[in-house]
């Protein structure tokens, strides 16, 4: 009888572990979906960006909804405003068409271009992610303020709680996308 009891405990333990691991995998895939891998890989490589960072940014911006529109009018997977997208199209010597912001290939290409543009301007990852969310001119003001930047290059404090949470979520999400893309 003891042998059956040990076997029963072992099987019960194995089933419990299987259910916990399975549940965590299901949760991770629901909370951190992954679509458009070919475009993320292509444009992350083209602009020398960390593809897991791009995947996390897309998740935070639109939850991988290619038709997403923010309350402020930002559109598509990487939530580009029409004004920013027009700026990018001009930089790339392309004709701007607002409807293209809902095209995953165009949106990810433009978003990666813009993230790289911000990275070249600000260098520090937290700073350029903050600029992607709060805007380039806002972050420049933060870098000039002694209360938010001690050296004019990095941020010691992100004064907008929404931007602080945004950056934190993207950096945490990147860890969950590592090895998946």
Q: Is residue 172 part of a domain?
A: yes
DSSP 117-140: HHHHHH-SHHHHHHHHHH-HHHHH
The catalytic position among 37, 45, 60, 61 is 61
How far is the CA of 96 from the CAs of 87, 103, 178, in angstroms?
Answer: 9, 13, 33
Among 22-26, 44-48, 148-152, 172-176, the least confident range: 22-26
Whether 21 maps to a domain, the answer reads no
- Domain annotation covers residue 63: yes
Pull the structure tokens for residue 104: 């995953």
What is the per-residue pLDDT across 66-78, written as a single tens digit (0 to 9) for each? 999 999 999 999 9
Confirm whether 122 is domain-assigned.
yes
Separation of alpha carbons 127 and 119, rounded Å: 8
| Residue ranges making up the domain that contains 85 | 32-177
Residue % of the chain over a pLDDT of 70? 86
d(CA 83, CA 60) in angstroms, rounded, equals 21
Distance separating alpha carbons of residues 92 and 125, to the nearest angstrom: 23
In a domain, 13, yes or no: no
Number of domains in the chain: 1
Domain assignment of residue 17, yes or no: no
Between CA 50 and CA 9 the distance in angstroms is 45
Global confidence as pTM: 0.86
Long-range contacts of 150-159 (CB under 8 A, 24+ apart): 153/123, 153/124, 153/127, 154/124, 154/126, 154/127, 155/124, 155/126, 155/127, 155/130, 158/126, 158/130
Whether 126 is in a domain gets the answer yes
CATH number at residue 44: 1.10.530.10
Predicted confidence band of residue 21 (pLDDT cuts 50, 70, 90): low
**61 catalytic residue (yes or no):** yes
> Do the domain assignments include residue 60?
yes
């Amino acid at each position: 009888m003891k042998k059956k009891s040990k076997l029963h405990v072992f099987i019960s333990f194995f089933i419990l572990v299987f259910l916990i691991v399975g549940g965590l995998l299901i949760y991770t895939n629901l909370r951190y979906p992954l679509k458009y891998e070919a475009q993320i890989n292509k444009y992350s490589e083209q602009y020398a960006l960390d593809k897991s960072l791009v995947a996390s940014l897309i998740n935070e911006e639109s939850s991988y909804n290619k038709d997403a529109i923010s309350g402020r009018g930002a559109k598509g997977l990487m939530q580009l405003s029409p004004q920013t997208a027009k700026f990018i199209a001009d930089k790339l010597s392309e004709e701007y068409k607002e409807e293209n912001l809902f095209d995953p290939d165009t949106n990810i290409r433009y978003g990666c271009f813009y993230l790289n543009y911000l990275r070249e301007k600000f260098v520090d990852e937290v700073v350029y992610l903050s600029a992607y969310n709060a805007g380039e001119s806002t972050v420049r003001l933060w870098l000039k303020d002694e209360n938010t930047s001690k050296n004019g290059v990095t941020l010691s404090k992100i004064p907008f709680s929404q931007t602080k949470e945004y950056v934190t979520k993207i950096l945490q999400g990147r860890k969950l996308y590592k090895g998946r893309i």
